[in-house]
Structures are given as C-alpha cells and as structure tokens.
Structure 1
C-alpha cells in the first residue's frame, strides 16, 4: 500500500472523524486539553460547512464518555472495542456521503486508534488527512510521527495542522459560498 496522491479537502466530499476523546484518557494523554481544543475548533468548522461528523468512544462503560469541552453534544457517539473507527455504524455514515473522498482525522491514541483508522481509510481508497495538532498519545512529544506511529508513517500522507486543514476547507470566500 502506498499513497499515490495528495487529496484536497473539499467540504462536499469529506467527513470529520473525532476519535475517542474521553474522560479517562485525560490524565494520561500528552497535551490533552490542547488537542481537545483544536478538535473542537475543527468540529465548529465542520458544522459551519455542513461536513458530516463521526464521533467514537472506546469502551465508554470503562473509559467514560466524550469530554464535554469537545462540543459534541447532540451528535451520535459510536461505541467501539477495536482500535479502528471503521466499525459497521461508521461505515454506514461514510456510505451516506455522496462521492466521499476525504476523511479528516482527529483524536487519540495515535499509536493505536489513529494509525489503525488511517490505514483502514487508505485501504478503502480514500484520502486521509491527519490533523496533527488534534491528535496525541501518552508519550507524544509534539513531533510527527508520534511514538508508536512511525511504522505507518511511510504509508500515511503528510500530516497537516488545523490551520492548514481549515484553510483548505474554506478555500471559497464566505461571500461566494452564501450565494450558492
């Protein structure tokens, strides 16, 4: 498997994945408040541009619910017990997006759920855009690839920060978007 092209993020053909930002992870994940804040900003942009949003929770009975400051109230939360976010319920959400081409990926943990999800997305022939400043792990130092994710680095596209991802989605001026 190899990345043959860099896809662009186009709101009409994209989906935002928010992976496992839950209470029990708070004390163990490096930069947890910062990544949640950045993911919350990505969520706001996705809502404003009507990009579908998927939120997962890893074994919520044991690891708690999605943190409130993410701002995901009212969105469905899909419970999972595997690393990848691509569970049947999420696959249905993806199938509901006409001409889906890109997945924006935020969350934890980079060496497990983010890496597994990214590889599964690539296997389906979709572009994956890992939002680097909205992802972390227990040992993350702030550089990419994060610890435990280096194995997948050759297969993943270059990561972007939230400013780059948001700017790409907002390519059309607001005044022009409101005319359509």
Structure 2
C-alpha cells in the first residue's frame, strides 16, 4: 500500500486578518494560496493551527478562509496573540498534544516578522519547517526575499504550495490523490498569478 512521503504535516496560518488586506502586498494572493492549502488539509486530514494578532484591535481572520465558522475548516487551535511568533502557550500545548515532531508548513504575514519568528521557534523545538513562498507577504514587498533568504540559511525549506502538496503525497496511488489533483486543477490560474506576483526572485 502506498505511503505518503510526509506523514506528519501541519498547516500554520499566521495572522491573515481582514484589517491587513489594504496594507499587505498582494494580500489576496496570499489568501488564495492559503485557501488551497486549507482544502488540502481537509482532504489529507492534517491539523491546522491559526492565529490572529491582537484581534481586539485588528479584527477577525478573513471570512473566506472559513476559520471562524462552525462546520468549515476544523482548526486544532485558533489563538489570539500579542506575541509575534505563533507559538503562544496555547499553540505550544496544541502542538505537544500531537505527540510527534511535525512537518510545519507556514503561510501568512508578515514574512519578516511573525512568519520568521514562528519558523525559528518551530525549528528550535525540533520540527521540520516549510515556508510557502506563494503564501507569505509583507507590507513592503522588499522585505520578503530578505526574510526567505534568512530562513533558508537557518534551515527552513522555502518552497511553493504545489511542490509541498506533491511532496506531501509522494505517490499517485494514494487514495486521496484524485481529490488533491482536483484542488490543484481548480486553483491553477490563481496559483499561476500568486507565483508571478509573490515569487519573482
């Protein structure tokens, strides 16, 4: 029987709040990539960890992600924070409850602040860390390649959403393959646009 190449993936959705939409470079592209990975997380049944940054002041997560609606995406934890890193005590407890080292895939904002600090903390805790280049951004686009270069040097795998999904599966004979291919096909144009705008380097 076929086995997945990555057996313990987990999706980390960092601070994708509606109030940031006007400020973040190509914010809708980050949301589109995140939606694709959220769909895949439901098919492949891997956990989702999400955060908001100071929700009382900066508001809720973008509604199209379905993270705040009952019956939509099931999150292990959706925590509010003032920390820049996603690894609040609540998130750390939820990670520990998984009882394994995770392959953590991070999307969200901002690349050089919350995404960077989350990635570094997860590495320090002994997890494998992937940052999705077509799923992260910052207010100033010039910050992004500098942050990704630093993260690569620290041991983070910088990759794309499609590459991660195929690596996650590893084998076209796994039962979920056709469902994931449907997601990839349905999001083909959005993926192309995200790559063109967020992955110019």
Contact 2:148 2:158 in 1 (8 A): no
Distance change >3 Å, CA 126–CA 9, structure 1 → 2: farther
Q: How far apart are residue 149 of structure 1 and its match?
A: 5.6
Tell me, in whole angstroms, the C-alpha distance in 2 between the residues paired with 1:100 and 1:148: 24
Distance change >3 Å, CA 9–CA 66, structure 1 → 2: farther
Distance change >3 Å, CA 121–CA 138, structure 1 → 2: same
Partner of 1:165: 164
Q: 1:48-94, CA deviations, whole angstroms, 9 ceiling, x for partnerless residues?
A: 11100011000011111000112323344200001000111111211
Aligned length: 168
Where 2:46 maps in the other structure, the secondary structure is coil
State the Cα RMSD in Å.
2.3
Matched, 1:52 2:50: no
Partner of 2:23: 28
Tell me, in whole angstroms, the C-alpha distance in 1 between the residues paired with 2:52 and 2:30: 16
Contact 2:109 2:138 in 1 (8 A): yes
Distance change >3 Å, CA 98–CA 177, structure 1 → 2: farther
Where 1:139 maps in the other structure, the secondary structure is coil
- Spell out the pairing of 1:21-170 with structure 2 (5 A cutoff): 21-72=16-67, 73-74=69-70, 75=75, 76-140=77-141, 145-147=144-146, 150-170=149-169
Q: Normalising by the residue count of structure 2, what TM-score does the alignment of the two structures yield?
A: 0.76
Structure 2: gaps spanning 5 or more residues: 178-201
Tell me, in whole angstroms, the C-alpha distance in 1 between the residues paired with 2:174 and 2:154: 38
Q: How far apart are residue 96 of structure 1 and its match?
A: 1.9
Q: How far apart are residue 98 of structure 1 and its match?
A: 3.3
Contact 2:122 2:129 in 1 (8 A): yes
Where 2:93 maps in the other structure, the secondary structure is helix
Distance change >3 Å, CA 177–CA 38, structure 1 → 2: closer
Q: Normalising by the residue count of structure 1, what TM-score does the alignment of the two structures yield?
A: 0.84
Which has the larger helix fraction? 2
